[in-house]
Amino acid sequence: MPSSTRRLKRSGLTMPIVTPRFINNAWHRGCDYINMDLEDSVPPNLKGYARSLVRESIPVVNKGGADAVCRINHDLMEADLDAAIWPGIMMVNYPKTEYGHEIERMDAIITRLEAERGIRPGTVEIGANIETAVGVANAFEIVTASSRVRDFGGASGYDMSRDLGVEMFVAFDQFVYGKGEVELAARAAGREPRAAPFTPNITGSVSDPDRAFAEADAARKCGFRIGGGLHPAVVEPQIRGFAPSDDEVSDARWVLREYRKLSRTGQTWVQVDVSSVDREASPRPMASESYLGRHRVIDRYEAARAEELLQWQDLCQERDQEKAEAIDRVRAAESAESAT
Amino acid sequence: MPILVRRSNLIVPAVEQRAVRRSWMHDADSVTLDLQAGTPDSELPQVRETLRQSISLASKAGAEVFVRVNAQFVYADSDAAVGPDLTGILLPGVESSETVAEADSILSELERKHGVAHRSLEIAPSIETAAGVWHIRDIVNASPRIRQVGIDEAALAASLGITQSADHDPFVYARGRLCIEATAAGVQPVAVADPMGVQTGDLSREGMVNVATDLRNLGFKGIVCGHPSWIAPVNEAYTPTESLVEYYTQVREVFAQALAAGTAAAPFAGRMIDVPVDEWAKDVLAMSAACAARDAEKQAALAAAAAYFDPSVPVIG
């Protein structure tokens, strides 16, 4: 896996590493990453056993092309890292990060383990999860503590709600400030923000596919590209929600074509009435009743947006292809095995 | 650290004798006697003279009592207030840690002067300006006396040229910053004065419970109430309901069973129960117990006060 390329994290399943039926079946769910949990879903008396499973589980979750991620325990950092940093691990999630020095220490340990275990230096990412008020307050020092922190987010979820003493499932965004601070810190530091706009979830359901799609779609439109969940039912809707729709792709191509025309005129912007465009044309702008409106302004900002959308679309397709091929290889090997 | 149950805080102008005399009757967890609003400077000496009596009166049903001092008279106002029944001072218009440090040393001096335990009195800073919001981290960490901090939204609105209304919320950022920075410092954020632009006087009891519940779910640990009618709905919103207690008792049982079966993640009513959910369940049950204990404490104080004032009970001495 080339280290310099951005790893997509549109969907990922977090699961207790001590439950073999989850770990053994996760590879064919189609998610971008699988987060093997040593933390909150593992009972205290099984922490040692859980650690012993990580190394052998990495190739199992990797089988379908998903990246292997491990969530370690805040208070057991050293022992958990020793168990998790093996070839094939892409990222380690560190929960309840509160200070930059925690990440610096983690970076030093990972650097040593990479050298000792034949892992390309600097490749294992750190997910510095913000789950407390102290973490929000120190967001910038945390995100800049290590170049291994490539994306950054949090400031919501159960731990955060506990720390603030607020209910988790309410009809308004009780975490809006913290999420804003963390996103700002991420963007100011040049890292990818991990966040989502507020979509009410009063039921607290973790397996609702419609909600998962709506949230991923809204997140993408707000400039976020990272998702994740707990239930296999949300994987496909997340992948779909993070991908631009066919109409959006066609629209982006149309925007770039109009922009090329505009560039030849010496003008900086033009307004196009899209209601008269042939609905069968290709590429074509999105239907005029869409949020974009009947009159579309084409300028360099709109062109940049369209370009990013198409690049993102390429990345999504490449990644989906990569996973499909991996799954095909496994299936082929399995059928070859059963044939003999 | 034990839970500090300070759900409702009734604020009463110290100059209004009738309101002061009745301040203990409303079941507030704390009462703030206000020397700032409503008291002309010329009447301050007179109000200060009877302040210790007023504090004692306000505390007789078990409420903690604060005094809102005038920013320009911190020494004189506090000097008139410090005594065994005072919990602390509410310091208005704080913009920097220096203001807190000055008040801290004044209280240390007055604790010595009036024979009150050293470092026992609290300072509750009130944020009323953009500078205060900006410097909130320095302010909440400026003294170990600080256990609660609030943004006076009406004052902040006035200083920023904002007309408050329930339709538009200008304080999403300020309120969020307060709750995050206070919580990070281990200090309780409280909401002050017609919070969220809602004229609570116009609301039904249910409407007030809803406003208070929203404030609780933004991270505020209590509400400063401008009128006695707010207190019951605020106490209600901040006390875990029976059905909530029942639900989280079940959550704890489900989680304990899951642990016994070798996993710390269990589905329950469409949700996933894992460690943080169980921890939150513990918090809710602990809050319920702490509220019950605080209510019992206030009941006992009220009963003692009633006995004292009951003419049929002989007064010794």
Alpha carbon distance A273, A297 (integer Å) = 9
Tell me the sheet residues that pair with A272.
A296
Q: Which of A43, A46, A134 sits opposite B184 (nearest CB)?
A: A134
Nearest to B51, CA basis, from B35, B29, B75, B39: B35
Locate CATH 3.20.20.60 in chain B.
8-238
- Chain B residues whose CB is inside 8 A of the A157 CB are 276
Q: Which is more confident, B131 or B207? A: B131
**Residue B203, pLDDT score:** 80
B38 φ, ψ (degrees, to nearest 5) = 90, -10
Alpha carbon distance A251, A263 (integer Å) = 18
pLDDT digits (tens, 9 = 90+) for A89-132: 999 999 999 999 999 999 999 999 999 999 999 999 999 999 99
pLDDT digits (tens, 9 = 90+) for A266-302: 899 999 988 888 888 899 998 765 566 788 899 999 9
Nearest to A31, CA basis, from A8, A54, A53: A8
pLDDT digits (tens, 9 = 90+) for A187-236: 999 999 999 999 887 777 788 999 999 999 999 999 999 999 999 999 99
Alpha carbon distance A13, A71 (integer Å) = 11
Alpha carbon distance B110, B124 (integer Å) = 17
Between chain A and chain B, the number of residue pairs with CB atoms below 8 A apart is 100
Torsion angle (degrees, nearest 10) of CA B173, B179, B181, B185: 180
Q: Which residue has the tokens 């200070």?
A: A99
- The average pLDDT across A5-18 equals 92
- Chain B residues whose CB is inside 8 A of the A133 CB are 179-184
Alpha carbon distance B189, B187 (integer Å) = 6
In the structure encoding, which two tokens stand for residue B134, read together?
Answer: 């900006």
Minimal-distance CA residue of chain A relative to B284: A165
pLDDT digits (tens, 9 = 90+) for B159-177: 999 988 778 889 999 999 9
The answer to whether the Cβ–Cβ distance between B221 and A177 falls below 8 Å is no
In the structure encoding, which two tokens stand for residue B26, read together?
Answer: 């409303």
ipTM for this prediction: 0.89
Report the predicted TM-score, pTM, of the whole model to 2 decimal places: 0.91
Instruction: Report chain B residues touching chain A, CB-CB < 8 A.
Output: 137, 172-173, 175-177, 179-184, 214, 216-219, 221, 259, 262-265, 270-272, 274-277, 279-280, 283, 287
* Interface-testing mutation among B171, B213, B274, B282, with chain A (most A C-beta atoms within 10 A): B274
CATH numbers and ranges of domains, chain A: 12-242 (3.20.20.60), 246-316 (no CATH)
CATH architecture assigned to B8-238: Alpha-Beta Barrel (3.20)
Q: Give A301→chain B minimum CA distance, Å.
A: 28
Alpha carbon distance B91, B76 (integer Å) = 13
Radius of gyration of chain A (CA): 22
The answer to whether the Cβ–Cβ distance between A204 and B271 falls below 8 Å is yes
DSSP A172-241: S-TTHHHHHHHHHHHHHTT-EEE-------SS--S--HHHHHHHHHHHHHTT-----BSSGGGHHHHHHH
